Structure 1
Amino acid sequence: LIPTTTRSRNGGASSTIAMVVATWLFLGGVRHSRTLLGKAGLGFLGLGTLLGSLYALQRIVFVTVQLASGTSYPALENLLSTTLKQATVLSVAVGVCLPPLSVAVEYVAAWSTLRKLRPLWVQLTEAAPYVVLATSVGRWRVRFRLERCVIEVEDACLALREYVSVDMHTKARRFVRQEGVAAQLSDAVAEACWLRAAVQSARNGERLQGVEYPPLGVTGRDRASELSWLRTVARAYLSSPVVSEFVRQEHSSISHEQGASERISSNDN
């Protein structure tokens, strides 16, 4: 039979190698995780396996010392073993819990963003209903519903560009600056201005042809920036007094021009 101490030392060496490999895999996966909680979870799992390898290593050291010199240090060994085991279990437990928590956080964030974009979606798709996809989506599929909402909002913006010219976009940006809107919000508020004007023109069927259309501010953004931009535009579209005043002035200007044109036509006749 193999002596117990020899088997213990061999088992400890195997455990140490396994823990080191696991630590390398977990910590190497941190940079590939796309969420902060996912990175933290893998980091804690890596820390747990690292502590586990230290536990196995200290067992090997104490067994080797006892075999070589016949001396043992039971108090120190017990202290190190208990501390490392508790720290290992705690780190692994935290690491296992964080990835599911990350999924829950993503779900709540998607639901919150969808709730904020939904009113803008209603306004834009009423003016351009043909961009709405016919297939229904279950209410519990929040992330899929958010993707669909974003796509339909952006498609509606593309369609509504045909009701305003780039001059309207320029006027909106100038008006927003004159009203003292913060620089980091000015582009989004200007976007909301011409979108509100375009929705009004679409309801009147006033499609423009032969003009340059305004650019979309959402173009060329990454996912996080895209959602942040749309939330800001939605908030300005629905509640900004600057947007309401711009649309009111534009409506008054258009009505005045149409009245003047009618008077000129009457005089000509």
Structure 2
Amino acid sequence: MDSFEAVVAVLLWITTGWRATKVWRKGQDRTLWWTFFGLAMMMTLRLPAGRALDQLTEVTDLSYLLKHLFGGVLSSAALLAFLRRVSGQQGGSPVAKRMRVILPFVTAAAMAVLFFAELQPYETRAIFQDPTARLALLAYTAVFLGFLSASLLSGMRVCWRWGRDSSDGALSWGLRVIGAGLAAGVVYALTRIAALVAHMTGDGILPGDLDDYVSTYLLMAALLLIVVGSSLPVLGKLRTWRAERRALLRLHPLWCALTEATPSVRLDPPRGLATERLDPRNVHGRLYRRTIEIRDAALALSDYAPADIRERARQHVEARGLAESRATVTTEACWLAAARRSKLRGDTPGSNTEHQPTRGGGDLRSEISALTQLSDAYHSDLVRDIADACDRLPEKQT
């Protein structure tokens, strides 16, 4: 069991560290970060690190109190605040808002008072031998699990309601999975309080240490479901990032070819494809800028593609059997290739006011789709052959 708990603790610390790089640097809402920080601290204190802390401070079972404060009070309060923010339920009366802040502190203070006043210096199992300490443990557990259960039940209502109504698929399923994790947490709390009462009146609900094993598995299931649920919206963003990165790399050859002839449209100096692949930063912004620079370059090159070149390109494309949208894209790729060569040769530009973007242009997605098709056509053998034929037309006329 210790190895399994260690794996969960590592996962929680990885999640905490990953989220820290976002929320603390960018000043975003930090409630979810505090949730995972509290859970990570709780899991760490369940490991030998907790016993080491007890020996270092010479306070018996101090880790017992701290893991409840971190994992129960801090995490549940922060998670509930996060869910309220996500669902838009941050409002309420001033009294309700103050109670959301005061209640966790009152709970933590009551637990600390009961712990240091009556539960010290006993070890956890020895408490059952002292009637006063036993009642203090029951009160301590009731305060802790009562607050935890109330917070989890409130969070479940938010998750199931907004998970059902959300139009964002990843967010919807994420909230539902978090809700399932909170439900497992409620069952954990009920199991713990039932086991404690049973130990006080007899030998427990289940024989041996099965009570502890069952509650531990419920706790692990709750933690894993909360981690998975909170990560699902991130997976949606990751899919978007991967799609935009793929489009960024696919447009790189076309961008290089066109901006080589029109370097003034570049915001930044050109970089090699290998450098583009290795840079994961600001993919959306770079892709947005790339689409603009490709269109600006095409507009600048349009003066080097007079009407006769465009007509010749259209005729060649139709002669190859292309039609409709594919013919339109291939025609534009042809005259762009011919115009680029003309510009690099130093030809005198003409004046063309008829150039319009080929399809796309309504939003970034449609623009990426249109430019990706243009890039594929531009680097095809068909366009290269037609551009060579169109490129010879001015020489014949001079």
Q: Which amino acid aligns with 2:350?
A: L
Q: Is the 8 A contact 1:166 1:214 kept in 2?
A: no
Return the alpha-carbon distance in structure 1 between the equivalents of residues 359 and 296 of structure 2: 11
Q: Which runs of 5+ in 1 are unaligned?
A: 260-269
Match of 1:227 among 353, 365, 368: 368
Return the alpha-carbon distance in structure 2 between the equivalents of residues 57 and 206 of structure 1: 83
Q: Which residue in the other structure is 2:155 paired with?
A: 22
Return the alpha-carbon distance in structure 1 between the equivalents of residues 307 and 176 of structure 2: 50
Q: Is 1:255 equivalent to 2:395 in the alignment? A: yes
Q: Which runs of 5+ in 2 are unaligned?
A: 1-131
Return the alpha-carbon distance in structure 1 between the equivalents of residues 219 and 334 of structure 2: 61
How far off its partner does 1:130 sit? 1.8
How far off its partner does 1:221 sit? 3.1
How far off its partner does 1:80 sit? 6.8
How far off its partner does 1:5 sit? 5.5
Q: Is 1:194 equivalent to 2:328 in the alignment? A: no
Return the alpha-carbon distance in structure 2 between the equivalents of residues 171 and 25 of structure 1: 64
Match of 1:129 among 255, 259, 263: 263
Q: CA RMSD in A?
A: 4.7
Q: Which amino acid aligns with 1:229?
A: A
Q: Which residue in the other structure is 1:94 paired with?
A: 228
TM-score (norm 1): 0.66
Q: 1:179 to 1:135 in 2, by over 3 A?
A: closer
What CA deviation, in whole Å up to 9, does each residue of 1:115-164 have, x standing for no partner? 32222122111222221226799974452444433332221122222333
Q: Stretches of 4+ moved more than 6 A in 1? A: 75-80, 99-104, 135-139
Q: Which residue in the other structure is 1:85 paired with?
A: 219
Q: 1:110 to 1:56 in 2, by over 3 A?
A: same
State the number of aligned residues: 252
Identity in percent = 30
Q: Is 1:245 equivalent to 2:364 in the alignment? A: no
Q: 1:93 to 1:193 in 2, by over 3 A?
A: same
Q: Is 1:150 equivalent to 2:291 in the alignment? A: yes
Q: 1:253 to 1:170 in 2, by over 3 A?
A: closer
Q: 1:228 to 1:103 in 2, by over 3 A?
A: same
Return the alpha-carbon distance in structure 2 between the equivalents of residues 78 and 84 of structure 1: 10
Q: Is the 8 A contact 1:19 1:50 kept in 2?
A: yes
Larger relative contact order (CA 8 Å, sep ≥ 6): 1
TM-score (norm 2): 0.48
Q: Which residue in the other structure is 2:250 paired with?
A: 116
